[in-house]
């Protein structure tokens, strides 16, 4: 579902992704774990056609370096540190995204139901709590039932109850044959949700972890001499 060979990315003269290789299979919940500045968000941006790079990449059968818009039509994205438009109501924002995605209004009702947004339907986004804004962001990523989702720190601002609900939602979504690619700092969540985890350090995937029970120890060991 995702295949990356010799990916290199520079911001001006800063070499951020360095000969990065990666394979993610259909139906996986693949976690990307790494310290601040390791290149997680940059990798997601490259894979979703948001920034140029060099390398051989296939994302859901498409090359995001050559066909960035096509990739963004196919996949869902929850970006890091972004928020909902302040002066739209919850339903207005969902109708807006549904229109861009060429969906009918039933998709909006489905997301309002799935992400428990009914009580906020007519509220303007600026008045929502941070966690409710985050649920709305996640809803917009799932609205067109994408076969592949990129989630950058999706659990930020969610309380433990919604962390569990969204976790279960993601797991059951992947069980239907869809694929999730998720960057996170929360090791406990990665252990509960991911099928495999890639550890990224200085712009390279340095380890793939299949057996997640000792993920924290494995992760910390990679950085103990830094």
Minimum CB separation of residue 150 from ligand ATP in Å reads 12
* Interaction between residue 132 and ligand ATP (CB under 6 A): no
| Residue 143 contacts residue 103 (beta carbons within 8 Å) | yes
* Interaction between residue 223 and ligand ATP (CB under 6 A): no
* Interaction between residue 176 and ligand ATP (CB under 6 A): no
Instruction: Name which position in 39, 79, 154, 198 contacts ligand ATP (CB under 6 A).
Output: 39
Instruction: Name which position in 1, 16, 53, 77 contacts ligand ATP (CB under 6 A).
Output: 16
Minimum CB separation of residue 47 from ligand ATP in Å reads 12
Distance between CA atoms of residues 51 and 128, nearest Å:
31
Nearer to ligand ATP, 41 or 132 (CB): 41
Minimum CB separation of residue 123 from ligand ATP in Å reads 29
Instruction: Name which position in 15, 37, 69, 164 contacts ligand ATP (CB under 6 A).
Output: 37
* Interaction between residue 41 and ligand ATP (CB under 6 A): yes
Minimum CB separation of residue 62 from ligand ATP in Å reads 22
CA distances to 21, 46, 145, 216 from 16, in Å: 14, 11, 32, 24
Nearer to ligand ATP, 11 or 223 (CB): 11
Which span sits near ligand ATP by CB under 6 A: 21-29, 30-38, 118-126, 163-171? 30-38
């Amino acid at each position: 579902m995702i295949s990356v060979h010799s990916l290199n990315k520079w911001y001006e003269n800063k070499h951020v992704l360095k000969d990065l290789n990666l394979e993610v299979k259909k139906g996986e919940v693949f976690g990307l774990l790494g310290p601040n500045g390791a290149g997680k968000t940059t990798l997601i941006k490259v894979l979703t056609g948001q920034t140029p790079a060099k390398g051989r990449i296939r994302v859901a059968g498409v090359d995001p370096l050559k066909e960035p818009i096509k990739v963004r039509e196919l996949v869902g994205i929850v970006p890091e540190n972004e928020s909902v438009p302040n002066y739209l109501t919850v339903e207005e924002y969902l109708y807006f995204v549904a229109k861009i995605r060429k969906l009918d209004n039933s998709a909006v009702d489905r997301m309002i139901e799935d992400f428990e947004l009914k009580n906020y339907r007519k509220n303007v986004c600026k008045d929502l709590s941070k966690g409710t804004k985050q649920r709305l962001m996640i809803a917009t990523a799932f609205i067109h039932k994408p076969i592949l989702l990129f989630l950058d720190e999706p659990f930020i601002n969610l309380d433990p109850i919604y962390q569990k609900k969204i976790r279960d939602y993601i797991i059951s979504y992947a069980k239907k044959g869809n694929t999730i690619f998720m960057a996170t700092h929360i090791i406990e969540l990665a252990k509960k949700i991911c099928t495999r985890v890639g550890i990224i350090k200085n712009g390279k995937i340095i380890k793939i972890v299949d057996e997640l029970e000792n993920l924290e120890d494995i992760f910390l060991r990679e950085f103990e001499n830094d």
